[in-house]
A and B are shown apart, each in its own frame.
Chain A
Amino acid sequence: MASDVFVDAADAQGDALGFQPERVFVQHPIQDRTDDEMVALADQAVDALVRSICGS
């Protein structure tokens, strides 16, 4: 899981390692978020996360 500035970097890393893992991105930035905002990001991401683990 990463913030959405890492979309391209994740692709490149996958190419370099020869493997593309499932990925879920959340909205950047992260560092200045409040706890409530972090909890909200997690709530928004959880469906995509479950689909990555279990397949659609």
Chain B
Amino acid sequence: MGLFILLGLFALLITFGLPVAYALGIAALSSFFYEGLPVLIGVQRIVSGVSIFSLLAIPFFIFAGELMLHGGIAAKLVRLASSAVGWARGGLGQVNVFSSMLFGGISGSAVADVSALGSLLIPVMKEKGYGDDYAVNVTVTSSVAGIMIPPSHNMILYAVAAGGGISVSNLFLAGIIPGVLMCIALGFAARWVAIRKNYPTEPFAGWMAVGVAAISAVPGLFTAVIIVGGSLSGVFTVTESGAIGCIYAIVITMFVYRSLSWQGFCTSVQRAVRTTGMVMILVGCASAFGYMLALYDVPKMLTDMLYVISDNPIIILLMMNMMLLILGMIMDMGALILICTPIFLPVAVGLGMDPIQFGIMLMMNLGLGLCTPPVGGCLFVGCAIGDVPIQRAVKSIWPFYLAIFSALMLITFVPAVSMILPNLIGL
């Protein structure tokens, strides 16, 4: 009955439109009350769930992303991508994918990626004769790179949800190859659609232009190097590297690029605290919710259920992927990371999967969820920018879904794809 209250009340509240974070908190406190546990302890768990030192990196990554967004770095990366890959068939589609890979490495957020690159590239693509649905689809699906390519605040959420035993630096390393692989797959999909629809190519601007664009983009790209390199080398902790990344981003955008105004800075701070509040209250409430899930032994129940269906690891992994994909379609990523990790991770580890590999698989599954209706943050933002109805975008998005799905299968069944870098140079 207690578990029914926990899950049932949560499902009911989110169905009625209550914010997910508060629905988690209310369901958790109700279960505390039902079980006769002091509700005070539940509130204390919410607060202690927020005040975890390793989570401090999250506001820094979000802040750095906002500073880059308002500091004009996205435009420089698009220029670099355009000069480097714009000459290929369906050139702007390739530019879009390549820009997402570069920008995702800085912002760490898929939605930031869509809004920054989408507002730059979608209008240009439409103007040059590309289909508006194509422009939206490429932008939306390639934004998943923001989650896979480090730094990514979702990976910190995963590390915390997994119990804190996983190195965030290793997770960052593990995301690189899958993220690049996914972008290559998306590049092929973009090219295939471009050939079928006879989309134009851009003239090659020459190596000189590539060099100039690269030099101009390097200071901005260096933010990612500071954040990832700083924590990997052991010079900084992940949290410190996030803070140093923010300070560097302020210096670069204000004094080198001179593209971040005081107004832009204030907007960045305002947006960063807004997003931080949203993410961190989710973390706090999910912490109380997770406590009750563990109390009801839900992870063991799920493991037993999956083993009843099949004891074949391939089938179980496929089922897990399917469940995560479906959940990703109906709920937001942050909440799902916090809820699903304690439930699914023991099953994955039981099958011999490394927690880091599982983390990367989880990110890509839920990242794909951001691009699917009915609750796809990236899809909504992309369609709003491109002024394309969601139904029309979804009709022609399947080659891109297929590309991400093929990368997902590689990550699931070939451990080396995620594990080679952590094993080679990890901490």
Do A and B come together as binding partners?
no
A: residues with CB less than 8 A from B are none
